[in-house]
Amino acid sequence: MSKKDNGASVILAYLNEKNRPYSAQDVFCNLQKQHGLGKTAVVKAMELLALEGKIKEKTYGKQKIYFADQAQFKDVNDADLKAMDSQISELSAEVQSLTQSCRQLDAELKELNSSLTTEEMVSEIQELKTECSGYKARLEKIKSATNHVTPEEKEKVYKERDVYVKEWRKRKRLASDMINAILEGYPKSKKEFLDEAGVETDEDCKVAVPST
C-alpha cells in the first residue's frame, strides 16, 4: 500500500469482498489492526472512492454509509438465490455440527487432563495397598488382644459414670446456692469473692458437666 494510495485500494477491496454497507467507523475498526489505517485516512479514502464513483454513498441523518457499487456484480435470478439459500442452510448446519463436536472434544480433553496418569495411578494404588495393610495389622492386633471389655464391664462403667455426673451436678448446684446466699451481704463482686475464697469454677478449669 503506497502513501499516495492512503489505504483506498484496501478499503475498496474490503467493501467489494464483503458487499454490505459500512460506516467509516466500521471500516476503521475492522481494518485498523491488520493494516494500521488511521481514522482520518479511512474517512478521506472513502470519501474519495465515493467521489470517483468506485463505491456508493448514502446519508442517513448525520451518518454516511458506504457500500460496493452493485453495477459490477452480475444479476442473480431466483434460482441462484434459492441455491445460495440452500447452501447457506447446509453450511450453517455443518457449522453447528462442528461446533457441537468441538465442545464435546473440549469436554473430553478437560476430563483427560484432570485424570491421573498411569504412573500416578500406580503410585496411588501402592499407597492404598500400604494403607490397607496397616489397617489389617491393627485389626488383627485388636482381635488377638486378651483384654477386651465385656458387655457387663461396659455397662458397669456407664452406670458409675451416671452416678458421678449426677453427684457433680448436685454439688455444683449446692455450691452455687451457697455462694449466691453469701453474695447477698457481700460488698464486692462475685469474681472478687471467688478469688478471695480461692474457689475455682468449672469455667476456670475449662470443663463442663457431661450430658447424661
DSSP state letters, the chain: --TTTTTHHHHHHHHHHH-S-B-HHHHHHHHHHHH---HHHHHHHHHHHHHTTSEEEEEETTEEEEEE-GGGSPP--HHHHHHHHHHHHHHHHHHHHHHHHHHHHHHHHHHHHHSPPHHHHHHHHHHHHHHHHHHHHHHHHHHH-S-PPPHHHHHHHHHHHHHHHHHHHHHHHHHHHHHHHHHTS-SS-HHHHHHHHT---TTTTT--PPP-
Confidence of residue 80 (pLDDT cuts 50, 70, 90): confident
CATH class of 3-72: mainly alpha
- Which of the pair, 106 or 3, is modelled with greater confidence? 106
**What is residue 55's predicted lDDT score, i.e. its pLDDT?**
93
Tens digit of each residue's pLDDT (9 = 90 or more) over 59-77:
998 899 999 998 888 877 8
Average pLDDT, the chain: 88
pLDDT for 212 beyond 80 = no
pLDDT for 126 beyond 70 = yes
Confidence of residue 5 (pLDDT cuts 50, 70, 90): low
Confidence of residue 117 (pLDDT cuts 50, 70, 90): confident
**What is residue 73's predicted lDDT score, i.e. its pLDDT?**
83
